[in-house]
């Protein structure tokens, strides 16, 4: 069966990756509770921060000749003992809430930033299932599962279902005892058009430590 994901190890040049990690250290826990609601749009203009530099570097390998208008990106940070994201398909969130229309990015991608206990990414063609913990699809045997490793890039079709396993690499079903390291990733969705009301990073006051 053909893989659902494309993996690249050492995806970002080492010096650029180290600079990203230093900048993220300065970001600290800023907006940690709102990490999934803090998204930004980058239209491939002059990079304003280290993330946009990375997107520019990765663009030829990810988008190739496919027509994309830009990238919606965010910092995903979670404890694998307390996974708070269900299985889902990425979409234009505000458009879906306003009209019910489902529009997906052309390409989804995740750059893993560190190694943690558990926290594997699951990508599948199956749809989320309302009655299951974390909305996990009922069938998981056809999914691709990718462990977090520093500077490992995962690329997949933007309409596919995906989710995160807990510290035991099981489907999350409540908080686990103890704590784990923060699982940190840079998520980049590559769109044919700009999703509704997503601001450019330069238009906000968030994550200013990423500049320079």
Residue pLDDT, tens place only, 127-174: 999 999 999 999 999 999 999 999 999 999 999 999 999 999 999 999
User: What is d(CA 192, CA 92) in angstroms, rounded to the nearest whole number?
Assistant: 11
What percent of the chain shows pLDDT beyond 70? 100
Q: Output DSSP code: residue 56.
A: H
Mean pLDDT of the chain: 97
Residue 118 to residue 64: CA distance in whole angstroms: 32
What order do you get walking across the sheet with 144-146 strand by strand?
A: 144-146, 121-124, 161-164
Spatial CA neighbour of 76 closest among 106, 117, 31, 44 = 31
pLDDT digits (tens, 9 = 90+) for 37-76: 999 999 999 999 999 999 999 999 999 999 999 999 999 9
Give the whole-angstrom CA distance, residue 195 versus residue 74: 14
Percent of the chain with pLDDT over 90: 97
Please check the confidence at residue 1 and state whether its pLDDT lies above 90: no
57 by Cβ neighbours in 10 Å (0-12 / 13-18 / 19+) ranks as middle
Residue 22: predicted pLDDT: 98
Quick one: which of 45, 66, 90 has its CA closest to 200?
Answer: 45
Question: What tokens were used for 89?
Answer: 């398909």
Cβ proximity of 155 and 108 under 8 Å: yes
């Amino acid at each position: 069966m053909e893989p659902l994901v494309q993996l690249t190890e050492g995806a970002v040049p080492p010096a650029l990756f180290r600079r990203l990690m230093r900048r993220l250290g300065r970001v600290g826990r800023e907006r940690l509770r709102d990490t999934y609601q803090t998204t930004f749009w980058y239209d491939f203009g002059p990079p304003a921060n280290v993330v946009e530099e990375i997107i520019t570097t990765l663009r030829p390998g990810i988008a190739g000749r496919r027509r994309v208008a830009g990238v919606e990106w965010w910092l995903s940070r979670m404890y694998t003992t307390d996974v708070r994201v269900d299985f889902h398909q990425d979409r234009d969130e505000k458009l879906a809430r306003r009209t019910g229309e489902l529009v997906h990015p052309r390409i989804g991608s995740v750059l893993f930033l560190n190694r943690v206990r558990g926290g594997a990414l699951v990508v599948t063609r199956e749809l989320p299932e309302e009655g299951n913990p974390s909305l996990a699809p009922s069938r998981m045997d056809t999914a691709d599962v990718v462990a977090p490793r520093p500077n490992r890039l995962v690329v997949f079709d933007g309409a596919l279902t995906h989710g995160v396993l807990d510290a035991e690499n099981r489907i999350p079903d409540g908080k686990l005892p103890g704590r784990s390291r923060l699982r940190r990733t840079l998520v980049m969705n590559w769109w044919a058009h700009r999703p509704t009301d997503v601001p450019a990073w330069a238009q906000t006051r968030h994550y200013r430590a990423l500049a320079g």
